[in-house]
Amino acid sequence: MTNTWQARSLDLERFADAAGQLSLHTPLAELVRVSSACDAGAVTGHVCDWSLSGETRGSDSRRQVWLRLQAGISLPQHCQRCLEPMSVDLTVDRWFRCVADEATALAEDDGCEEDLLVLSAEFNALELLEDELLMALPLIISHGDCQPPSSPALGDDLPHPFAALAGLKKPRL
Ligand SMILES: [Zn+2]
């Protein structure tokens, strides 16, 4: 039996039972939430290479369903210090343990180290991919060894604090 797995509608339990593997190449433009966090003019041409693997661990009543997400992409960003364009390479490699429902996930979340997913027969792995990429994106994006732009013109546009003071210091006649 051949399985054609659909990343947007994945039966997690069947995928794990079959030790499913899925390799995908998704244009950044299709990852709407991630691309909206990027330099809009430079999204075209960027592709996310990612893969999913499923496996079961344990047996019978202790059987667990696990999903692994691996992804790599280079995102067009701007350096927050020098304001020049730069690319930020992100990689994700995470395992998730699947639980029966939301209540179980909430109950077990504090007591375990792994990330939990709620089992679904129509799991949207693109949502998960986008969540993980956004979480992997650093809060501060900078080259690390660059200088802020020196722009004398910028200074001239700002109101000069002493100009106002000078106006107050009119000679008293
Ligand atoms: Zn920079």
Rounded to the nearest whole angstrom, what is the distance from the C-alpha of residue 15 to the centroid of ligand 1? 43
At residue 55's C-alpha, the angle toward residues 63 and 125, to 5°, is 115
> Per residue in 39-63, pLDDT tens?
888 999 999 999 999 999 998 888 9
Please indicate, yes or no, if residue 7 is contained in any of the structural domains.
no
Residues in the chain: 173
Protein residues within 5 Å, CB atom, of ion ligand 1: 79, 81-82, 143, 146
Picking from 154, 131, 145, the residue whose alpha carbon sits closest to that of residue 69 is: 131
Number of domains present in the structure of the chain: 1
> Per residue in 113-164, pLDDT tens?
889 999 999 999 999 999 999 999 999 999 989 988 876 655 555 555 555 5
Rounded to the nearest whole angstrom, what is the distance from the C-alpha of residue 65 to the centroid of ligand 1? 43
CB 48 within 8 A of CB 5: no
Rounded to the nearest whole angstrom, what is the distance from the C-alpha of residue 3 to the centroid of ligand 1? 46
Which range marks the domain in which residue 133 is found? 12-168
Please indicate, yes or no, if residue 4 is contained in any of the structural domains.
no
Percent pLDDT > 70 in the chain is 85
